[in-house]
Amino acid sequence: MSTGTGDRHDDILYPTAVPFVLAHLVCIAVIWTGVTWQAAALCFALYWLRMFAIGAGYHRYFSHRAYATSRVFQFILAFVAQSSAQKSVLWWAEKHRHHHLYSDLPQDAHSPRQSGFLYSHVGWIFARKHDSADLAKMADFTRYPELMWLHKFELLPAMLLAVACFLIAGWSGLVVGFFCSTVLVYHATFCINSLAHVCGKKRYVTGDDSRNNWLLATLTMGEGWHNNHHAYQSSARQGFRWWEFDATYCILKTLSWCGIVWNLKSPPLQVVRNEQRLGARVVNRAAAELAAQFNAQRIALAISATLQAPELLLLREALQRAHDRAAGVLNTLHLPHLPHLPSRDEFLAAAKARFAKTISLDDIVDRAYELLLASIGTHLATAEQPA
């Protein structure tokens, strides 16, 4: 796992992180306020209510349009989710759509692989480049003035909820009911960005590090079935198997019987059974990950040492002329017979060890082999010419 690059971490806007830190520190005040039963009940209720609003609202509805609902309930979901103080609904959904487009690639805003665990868990939120949302990517929701109003006054729902907690249960209600539940919701949600890309099982090949984690699924009302979600993003149900409890989906299903939500999308049976053929983007990502297991530069040096100087010179000239067709040039030279180049069987064994079962495994292996040959060709073509 990458520990992150310094320039990404230096981009953090520390003043904007102050309220976040203070929210954690306020929780210590429970020593003085104590924990009343009213405050404890508020903490419990607000944790699960807002977790549902984030999962069903911010994530499955606003980010992925996994179901349909009325304009009124749309606003209620956004308002309740925004009371968790995780920025505006439009900001959250735009960043999440960006995440799926570049999941665990260098462009991903919160990839543990690219920027380290702590940055992916919370640091990225306060980075200057993530401070604003690209609203052009949220055109399906920016047409609603009430959502734009929430975007403009992003902390208002949280402030109103904090006041309500104080009025209901006093200082204990504010500290325990609001602040403690808010901090718990913070980290349960953030664990999906960080821990669910590090710990758990991968049932599907998705071209990223997403994993299913039953503990996170329990704490987040189903969001922890993260590998399932990355396999079929538009599904309102993220627990694909009968034993994968998805509380958010159960509530949405109940609401659909009442006519509050409708058109709940589900994954095709072919996807659930892991029988779908993977798209080109996923195949390419998985192939690049597989090819990276083999050191192209070291193989190129070994090939250079094996060939005679005239042969190597001719090969380099051919590769320089070929440009992006280096893999084809190397294949014509029957390089698989060289002991330095891994065989296809070695690629296949590495793929089986690294990836979940998929009918597209041969496609991944073939593409990875092409990528490795192309990389070797680049190293050979750009290496210093023999004397």
Q: Tell me what pLDDT residue 317 has.
A: 61
Q: What angle do CA 286, 378, 113 make, to 5 degrees?
A: 35
Of the candidates 334, 337, 347, 335, which has an alpha carbon nearest to the alpha carbon of residue 292?
347
Average pLDDT estimate for 279-297 = 87
Helix (H/G/I), strand (E/B), else coil: 128: helix
CA distances from 300 to 133, 338, 380 (A): 44, 11, 6
**Band (37; pLDDT cuts 50, 70, 90):** very high
**In terms of pLDDT, which residue wins out, 81 or 342?**
81
Q: Which conformational region is residue 323 in: left (phi greater than 0), alpha (psi within -120 to 50 degrees), or beta? A: left
**Band (1; pLDDT cuts 50, 70, 90):** very low
CB 191 within 8 A of CB 55: no
pTM for the model: 0.87
Helix (H/G/I), strand (E/B), else coil: 267: coil
For the ranges 25-34, 80-89, 371-380, which has the lowest average pLDDT?
371-380
Cβ neighbours for 374, distance < 8 A, ≥ 6 positions apart: 324, 326, 327
For residue 2, pLDDT beyond 50: no
The sign of the dihedral angle between the CA atoms of 73, 75, 78, 81 is negative
Structural element, H or E, at residue 368: helix 361-382
For residue 365, pLDDT beyond 80: yes
Helix (H/G/I), strand (E/B), else coil: 64: coil
**In terms of pLDDT, which residue wins out, 165 or 305?**
165
Provide the residue count of the chain.
Answer: 387
**Band (67; pLDDT cuts 50, 70, 90):** very high
| Tokens standing for residue 87 | 């920025």
Of the candidates 266, 267, 265, 256, which has an alpha carbon nearest to the alpha carbon of residue 70?
256
Per-residue pLDDT reduced to its tens digit, 116-152: 999 999 989 888 888 888 999 999 999 999 999 999 9
Helix (H/G/I), strand (E/B), else coil: 381: helix
Cα separation of 213 and 224, whole Å?
A: 5
Per-residue pLDDT reduced to its tens digit, 230-286: 999 999 999 999 999 999 999 999 999 999 999 999 999 999 999 999 999 999 999
Task: Return the percentage of the chain with pLDDT > 70, whole number.
Answer: 85
Of the candidates 218, 174, 164, which has an alpha carbon nearest to the alpha carbon of residue 192?
218
